[in-house]
Amino acid sequence: MDKETNYIYIDYSAGVPVPKATTDRTTIELNRMFTLGRVYRDGVTLHIVNSGVNLYNHMRNNHERLIGVRGFERASGGVIAEKLVRYLTSTDGVFYLGANKIATTQQDTSPTGPPDILTRWYHDAGGNWVSNTGIEGASAAGQISNEHYDTPTGLADIGVARYGVFWLFIHFDGDLHVVYGIGTYKLALAEMALVPILPDAVRDFSTLAAKIIA
């Protein structure tokens, strides 16, 4: 049909495969018909998409689609909260990486907790990523800093009456990682700040759980 989307399919209902077309996709029966693609005809011009049923290596292809589109995805839990002053807790969580179900355990980085580890990520003077599980400036281990932001050549001081932004991630194994933001902001700009470039250990092994302004 001209000026309409045409769905191309194979009809095997009579025991012989017959190519057909319809403008109503809902008429393509699920068990004895299968789609090949769709065509939009605009006069003599055809717009063709090969979008039919493709079962070759279906499970692997579906897994790769989930990884590419959805990544490390939260199903439930993993709720972040502050405890005491700038310490963090997270609840038990259920996540999916592709078709793989991953359960994470609750965390408490405060002195009254286990305490669990908070890993900080920022650059050193040589532009290399640093992972720090201890103190940073006046901030104790497990505590979010309110002093510094990240630059390509190391940490810099957050300005007077300004805020830093810190990006909190839940790792596959449940522990918490924080990536320092890259600016010293007024509050409105801090609220609009976007996730910076991430180290591989965070990008490939965790999911964003919270944006912290301090």
| Domain contains 64 | no
Q: What per-residue confidence (pLDDT) applies to 53?
A: 82
pTM beyond 0.85: no
- Rounded distance between C-alpha atoms, residue 95 and residue 17, angstroms: 43
pLDDT tens-digit series, residues 36-72 = 999 999 999 999 999 888 778 888 889 999 999 998 8
Q: Name 49's bridge partners.
A: 38
Q: Is residue 108 domain-shared with residue 177, that is, in the same domain?
A: yes
**Range of the structural domain that residue 39 is part of:** 5-53
Q: What per-residue confidence (pLDDT) applies to 213?
A: 98
Q: Is residue 152 domain-shared with residue 109, that is, in the same domain?
A: yes
Q: Is residue 164 domain-shared with residue 81, that is, in the same domain?
A: yes
Structure confidence at residue 157 as a pLDDT band (50, 70, 90)? very high
Phi and psi torsions of 22, nearest 5°: -150, 155
Total of domains in the chain? 2
Q: Is residue 46 domain-shared with residue 77, that is, in the same domain?
A: no
Q: Is residue 116 domain-shared with residue 45, that is, in the same domain?
A: no
| Domain contains 66 | no
pLDDT tens-digit series, residues 181-198 = 999 999 999 999 999 999
Across the chain, mean pLDDT equals 95
